[in-house]
Amino acid sequence: MLSGLLLLVVGYKSEPTVAGIVQLEGAPLEKGSIRFVPIEGTPRSDAGSSIRDGKYGLTKGLTVGKYKVEIQGWRQVAGQKTPDPVTRAC
């Protein structure tokens, strides 16, 4: 029984995870999305998450490598009825 458990633990390979906070002009981004796009030989595995109150987290879908990070968000602009799109690439 113990040897089977050891094989399971040794054979298990976890995916990288990432979590963080997105701020715009010093305040948490209320609503948006974040996307990780692989670059420079990183296996194709782009992944993304929603952003709520500045927080995001990904627990699956990524592989070890280099990524371009794309962030898209919406913010209310005083005096306008429609949201102002905010897009940044890091």
Q: Is the pLDDT of residue 5 over 50?
A: no
Residue 23, burial from CB neighbour count under 10 angstroms (0-12, 13-18, 19+):
exposed
- pLDDT, residue 53, reads 93
> All domains of the chain, ordered by start, with CATH?
15-89 (2.60.40)
Predicted model pTM: 0.68
Which pLDDT tens digit goes with each residue over 16-71? 888 999 988 888 988 999 998 888 877 777 789 999 999 999 888 888 888 888 99
**pLDDT value for 32:** 92
Residue 89 has pLDDT above 50, yes or no: yes
CA nearest neighbour of 36 among 26, 25, 45, 24 = 45
Using an 8 Å Cβ cutoff, are 38 and 67 in contact?
yes
